[in-house]
Each structure stands twice: as C-alpha cells, then as structure tokens.
C-alpha cells in the first residue's frame, strides 16, 4: 500500500471515528473535522517528528489547530497513535479508540475545543476562539529559534477564520523574523457557519495575500497525501515562510454532510450507519485496498532538553536601579511605576534566560526598552498588533519561556479575547499595561484604560484548576512597589497583569518592603475613616489624608495593590474606624471598591463608600487638573470623607 493509499485508508478509518465520537457526544463538528483529515494524518503519521509517548518532549514538532472546532480529527489520529493524555506525566495514559467516545464529557481530556490544560498535552494553547493559532505558532517558532532546536511548527487555519485580522498580524511578524520554521496551512473548504466563505478568503485570494505578505504560497489538493507531503518537503531549504493553501471538502467522504447546512451538526444516531457506509465507500472511490492500514510511527524528535525549572535568584532594588543607571532619579525620590517596571524587567532578565519580553511599538513608553537594549535576542518587537503579541507570548510560554508583554493598558484591551484564551490554556504570561487611568490627562480617553481593573479583577477569584487564580493582578503605587510586583509576576506560575502609570511619583516604600499576591500596606493610621486606594490615587489620597488631619480627622490609608485581594486586614483596620471605609480609584466601578464592598457585604460589618471616574474623560492639561475635573482631587476626597464622618 503506497503512502497516498495509506493516508486515504487512515482518513477513512479516522473519519469514521470522528463521526462516531461526535454522534456519541451529541455535539461537535464532524464536517469540519473530515475536511482536514488528510492534512492531519499526513502531518501526525508521517511528516511531524514527534513522540506520541512523550508529547511534552521539547524536540517535538508542534501542531497548532487554529480552527479548534475541528479537533475531533486530531483526537482520532492521536488515539490511533496511542498518544499520551493527562494533566501531568505521572497521571498520563495512552489514549485509546474507546476513549474517543468520551468526547466533551466532564471527566474526559477530550474537551470540546483544544486545551492542553485539561489533559491533552499534544497542544500548546487553548484554541476555539478563531484566528489565534498562527500567532501561537509564531511564538513557538521564535522559542525554537532562540533555543536552537531544529523543529517545525505546523498551524492549521480555516478559510473563514482567516478573515480575522490577527492572522495577518501574525503573517507580518513571521515575515519580519523570517520564521521559516512555521508553516501556515489554510484549509479552504469554502463553507462558513452561516454562509459560504467570502471570495476574499478563496484559495486564490489567500495565496495572493500570503505572497503580498512576503510568504511563499502554494495551492494544493488538501486530500492528496503526496501533494501535502511534497509541499512540506525540504523545510531546511526554505527562503521564506511557507503558506500551503489546501483545497478541501467539508464533510469529506460523507456526501450527506457536505451540504452547507451541516456546520457543527453531528450525525443523528439513526443515520450513523449510513454515514459510516458512505466513508467505507471511499475505499472503492479512491481505489484503496480495504485493509486496515499499517501502523505508522512518527520519526523521533531530536535529542534536546527542556528548561530547568527554578526560582529566579532575587536582585535587590538599589542594585537593579544602579544597573539601570537610574540612581540619579532615585536620589530625586521620584520615579514612575512604568519606569520601575523597566528596571525590574532588566534585572529579572539578567537573572534568568527564560525571561523574554514583547512590546507593540511603545517600548520607550512602557520601558521594556531597557530589557530590549540589553537583551535584543530575547526581545520581540511585535509592532502595532496587540492581539498577535499576546498570542505569540502564549506560544513562547508553552515552550518554557517566561514572557513579559507590555503596551499601553488601553491597547492591551484589544487582546482581551486572546487573554481569556491564554487563561483557559493556563499560559504563564505576564502582562503590563502602562499609562492607565485618568492621570494620563492630556492625551485623552482614547489612551486611558478605565475598565481594566474591573476586568482583570473578575478573573482573580476563579481557580485555574491547579490551585492558582485564573489571573493575578497588581496596581503598584510607587516605583518600589512596581519593582517588587514585577518580581512577583516573574516567580508566579500563572497569568499576571500589572497596571502602571505615566507620571513620576514620589517613593512611598523602603526598598526592602515585602509585597505579596493579594497584599496591601497601611500607609497611615487613624480612627476616623479607612481610605483604601491603589496606584496613582494613593498619592492623591495622601494629600486628602493630610487635609483631613488638619481638620482633626485622623484617617487610616491603605494601599491595596493586588488582586485577588486579601480583604481581612482592610476590614480589621476598618473596625478601628467604626467600620467606615472610603475607596478611591481613577477608573470605572467594579475594581477595588467592588472588591472591598464584596468582602464587607459578606461580613456585614462595614460601610463602604466609593469614589471612581464617573464621567467619560476628556483631555485636561495636567493630572491635577484632570483629578479636579473628575471630582477626584484631594479636596474632593476630603469633602467626601467629611460627609461620611458628619
């Protein structure tokens, strides 16, 4: 049986598995899965060098299934090869054909869409929200280059999916870095969910677009194994990244699934045998011997080792500041939190080669530039394309790196879907959003992030299934806090978000002050009122506390710099101020005030008032003027405090 017949036979048999498992699940996407069956089999059974017994092997070629809904095709091939499943090596077992019937069950590693975190380590990232896989592939490819591992990254992309702009952001980045170890394979079956795919995503147009983006593009028959294999040959000779545009048939081998109305519909149980018979009929149609195709063992991966897992050796603040050449700024006693992020990133990068940084053309504003200048080989300039930047970081994290991603906090919001997918895949990425909040002033609201606190806090009380929050977040008030919070991000195994501000602010803390996830610090103590704030507003609140003290009201001031917030210290402090709490923020509601209110309302022993940004901001020339306009100036806070106290 020649290779073409082998893949035909495999595609028929695995196609039958796809039909059976989706019918058993009562949901899923058999027609999409059948359209990529030859592509998947050719890759997994022949082209890819990988070890089904060790899907964690760092030398394995990788397959990223960007069109995640077609995952039953991969599950079927994986079971055929006895690939290992499990959330860790100790609990891993080989996937069997029988296991396929557990698709989408609560205890099955075969989730509805690809997810390495639920026990399918063959994948590197959660996919299923479309258009993100090629970016993940770019991250895996950059990581392999950096580690000098000769491996190929194959990304399967749907034609309809390639409408997502992020795909083209990834095409640009891969071309910028000449990542010839990535192959983008577009499966053009011509059908979307609600309608046929636009001519803008036809095979010819996609090939023309890829060429215009600086890629080598070839159009092939996606059900011809020889054509697939030859298109993928001679990887080491590639001068440009390769885009394979494969003409495929949605519902291949099963005429009853090929009508446009079949997207995402499993075969009804009473039609299962007929559908299986249709696939069996392909043996005759393809003149392929009706014999169980021989087993195939993928070629072994190269002998390489994974990164050593270890805690990053600490560097104290003063040493890091000196190394960054900022001792002068320190003597002035003022430093922006965004600049302290740069100082910390530089120090952390010096302490561990796993640390990499990505930025979106604002590195001189976020100060990831300090790292970029010292460690250019570990810095990825993603240009103005935040979605691709976040998903690229996910790919690098999957390869064992510790990626730090930075942009303006406002522009990070462009990648919230990608961030949620990173949480689902338990990607160990660190995100820092700068220029947050209304203190940015003159640039106006298009550059300010105002919903980020509520958004990231929302993921702080959700367990990632490994005993950690889905996302930890930080909102440091001074440079020392920002420095230590960056280190906390580096050593925490899981997603983190940090919010920094543009303005230089005075130092509030001693260099060796301890910081922790969910922590807070008491900056002033009094019995009148407990004021809770974070970030830039802590400085404004300090002025308010002084105003109140001059009126004879001694207030407690707490800097609550991290979520998920440990609220007990705040509630205890409030008990000394008659249970009176005032929260002050430079963002919209649902952030710190929400966290304190939730804790207080659950305990039922405090009264929490809140001050936030209550009008869509516009430009103002200075932070002080902006605060006054927003009713968040020291005098406003003091007045609100008095109204509570009177």
386 carries an active-site annotation: yes
Among 52, 83, 128, 241, binds its own copies (CB under 8 A): 128
Per CB under 8 A, the list member of 216, 447, 503, 525 interacting with its own copies is 447
User: Which string of DSSP letters, residue by residue, matches 479-531?
Assistant: HHHHHHHHHHHHHSSS-EEEE--SSEEE--S-TT----TT-EEEEE--SSEEE
Q: To the nearest whole angstrom, how small is the minimum distance from the Cβ of residue 319 to its own copies?
A: 27
* CB of 93 vs its own copies, minimal distance in Å: 18
Binding region for its own copies (CB under 8 A) out of 84-92, 233-241, 281-289, 414-422:
414-422
Backbone angles phi, psi at 556, to 5 degrees: -90, 135
Is residue 160 a contact point for its own copies (CB under 8 A)? yes
For residue 158, the minimal CB distance to its own copies (Å) is 9
- Is residue 255 a contact point for its own copies (CB under 8 A)? no
Contact call for residue 458 and its own copies (CB under 8 A): yes
Of these, 98, 295, 510, 616, which contacts its own copies (CB under 8 A)?
A: 616
Within residues 552-611, the interface with its own copies by CB under 8 A covers 579, 581, 588-591, 593-594, 596-598, 600-604, 606-610
Q: Which listed range, 89-97, 343-351, 450-458, 524-532, lies at the site for its own copies (CB under 8 A)?
A: 450-458
- Answer yes or no whether residue 176 interacts with its own copies by CB under 8 A: yes
- Residue 369 binds to its own copies (criterion: CB under 8 A): yes
Nearer CB in complex with its own copies: 426/542 = 426
Residue 274, Cα to own-chain centre: how many angstroms? 42
By CB under 8 A, is residue 98 in contact with its own copies?
A: no
Distance CA 37, CA 15 (A): 7
Q: Is residue 646 a contact point for its own copies (CB under 8 A)?
A: no
Residue from 187, 521, 612, 638 touching its own copies (CB under 8 A): that is 612
Give yes or no for residue 443 binding its own copies (CB under 8 A). Answer: yes
d(CA 352, CA 394): 18
- Closest to its own copies by CB, 198 vs 327, is 198
Dig out the tokens for 546 from the structure: 């002084």
Interface pick for its own copies out of 68, 222, 342, 526 (rule CB under 8 A): 68
Nearer to its own copies, 306 or 442 (CB): 442
Which one of 13, 278, 386, 585 is the catalytic residue? 386
* Look-up of token digits 């580690």: 147
List 49, 383, 492, 642, residue binding its own copies (CB under 8 A)? 383
| 299 bridge partner residues | 49
**Binding residue for its own copies (CB under 8 A) from 299, 306, 384, 546?**
384
Buried b (16+ CB within 10 A) or exposed e, 395-434: bbbbbebbbbbbbbbbbbbbbbbbbbbbbbbbbbbbbbbb
Residues binding its own copies: number (CB under 8 A): 127
291 counts as binding its own copies under rule CB under 8 A? no
User: What is the x/- site pattern for its own copies, positions 196-215, by CB under 8 A?
Assistant: -xxxxx---x--xx-xxxx-
- For residue 591, give the nearest of 583, 602, 581, 582 by alpha carbon: 583
Q: Give CA–CA dist 85/75, Å, rounded.
A: 10
> Which CB, 195 or 316, lies closer to its own copies?
195
Q: Which residue has the tokens 């069109």?
A: 67
Task: Tell me if 642 contacts its own copies by CB under 8 A.
Answer: no
Interacting residue with its own copies among 51, 124, 169, 478 (CB under 8 A): 169
Q: How many CB atoms lie within 10 A of CB 601?
A: 11
- Cβ burial of 194 (10 Å; 0-12, 13-18, 19+) is exposed
What is the C-alpha separation between 294 and 456, in angstroms, rounded?
Answer: 51
Q: Is residue 268 a contact residue for its own copies (CB under 8 A)?
A: no
Phi, psi of 480 (to 5 degrees): -70, -40
| Residue indicated by tokens 């298009």 | 446
Q: Where are the alpha helices (DSSP H) in 190-271?
A: 203-212, 225-231
CA distance 517 to 500: 16
Query: If binding is defined by CB under 8 A, does position 5 make contact with its own copies?
Result: no
**CA neighbor of 275 nearest in space, from 19, 574, 545, 91:** 19
Which residues does the annotation mark as catalytic? Answer: 386
């Amino acid at each position: 049986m020649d290779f073409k017949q082998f893949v035909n036979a495999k595609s028929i048999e695995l196609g039958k598995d796809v039909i059976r498992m989706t019918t058993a699940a009562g949901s899923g996407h058999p027609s999409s899965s059948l359209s990529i069956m030859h592509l998947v089999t050719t890759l997994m059974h022949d082209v890819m060098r990988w070890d089904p017994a060790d899907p964690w092997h760092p030398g394995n070629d990788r397959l990223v299934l960007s069109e995640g809904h077609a995952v039953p095709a991969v599950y079927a091939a994986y079971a055929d090869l006895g690939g290992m499943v499990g959330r860790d090596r100790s609990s891993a077992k080989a996937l069997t054909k029988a296991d396929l019937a557990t698709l989408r069950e609560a205890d099955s590693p075969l989730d509805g869409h690809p997810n390495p975190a639920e026990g399918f380590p063959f994948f590197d990232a959660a996919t299923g929200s479309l258009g993100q896989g090629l970016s993940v592939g770019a991250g895996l490819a950059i990581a392999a280059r950096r580690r000098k591992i000769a491996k190929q990254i194959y990304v399967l992309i749907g034609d309809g999916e390639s409408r997502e702009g992020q795909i083209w952001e990834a095409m640009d980045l891969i071309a910028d870095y000449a990542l010839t170890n990535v192959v983008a394979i577009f499966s053009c079956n011509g059908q979307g969910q609600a309608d046929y795919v636009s001519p803008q995503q036809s095979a010819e147009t996609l090939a023309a677009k890829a060429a215009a983006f600086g890629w080598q593009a070839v159009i092939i028959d996606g059900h011809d194994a020889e054509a697939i294999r030859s298109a993928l040959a001679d990887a080491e000779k590639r001068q440009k990244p390769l885009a394979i545009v494969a003409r495929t048939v949605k519902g291949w081998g099963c005429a009853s699934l090929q009508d446009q109305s079949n997207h995402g519909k499993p075969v009804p149980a009473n039609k299962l045998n007929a559908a299986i018979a249709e696939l069996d009929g392909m043996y005759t149609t393809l003149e392929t011997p009706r014999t169980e195709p021989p087993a195939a063992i993928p070629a072994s991966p190269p002998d390489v080792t994974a990164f050593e897992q270890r805690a990053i050796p600490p560097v104290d603040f003063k040493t890091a500041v000196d190394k960054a050449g900022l001792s002068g700024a320190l003597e002035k006693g003022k430093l922006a939190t965004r600049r302290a992020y740069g100082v910390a990133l530089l120090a952390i990068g010096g302490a561990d080669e796993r640390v990499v940084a990505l930025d979106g053309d604002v590195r001189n504003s976020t100060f990831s530039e300090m790292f970029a200048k010292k460690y250019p080989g570990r810095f990825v300039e993603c240009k103005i394309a935040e979605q691709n930047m976040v998903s690229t970081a996910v790919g690098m994290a999957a390869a064992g790196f510790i990626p730090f991603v930075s942009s303006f906090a406002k522009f990070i919001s462009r990648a919230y879907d990608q961030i949620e997918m990173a949480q689902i895949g338990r990607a160990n990425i660190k995100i820092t959003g700068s220029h947050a909040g209304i203190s940015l002033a003159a640039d106006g609201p298009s550059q300010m992030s105002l919903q980020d606190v509520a958004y990231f806090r929302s993921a702080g009380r959700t367990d990632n299934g490994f005993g950690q929050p889905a996302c930890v977040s930080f909102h440091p008030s001074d440079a020392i806090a920002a420095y230590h919070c960056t280190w906390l991000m580096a050593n925490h195994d899981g997603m983190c978000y940090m919010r920094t501000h543009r303005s230089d602010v005075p130092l509030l803390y001693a260099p060796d002050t301890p910081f922790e996830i969910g922590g807070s610090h008491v900056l002033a103590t009094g019995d009148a009122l407990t004021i809770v704030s974070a970030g830039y507003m802590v400085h404004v609140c300090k002025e308010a506390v002084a105003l109140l003290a001059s009126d004879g009201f001694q207030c407690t001031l707490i800097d609550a710099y991290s979520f998920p917030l440990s609220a007990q210290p705040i509630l205890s402090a409030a008990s000394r101020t008659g249970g009176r709490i005032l929260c002050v923020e430079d963002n919209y509601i649902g952030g710190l005030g929400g966290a304190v209110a939730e804790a207080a309302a659950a305990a039922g022993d405090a009264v929490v008032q809140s001050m936030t940004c209550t009008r869509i901001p516009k430009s103002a020339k200075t932070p002080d003027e902006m605060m006054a306009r927003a009713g968040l100036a020291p005098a406003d806070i003091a007045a609100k405090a008095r109204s509570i106290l009177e």
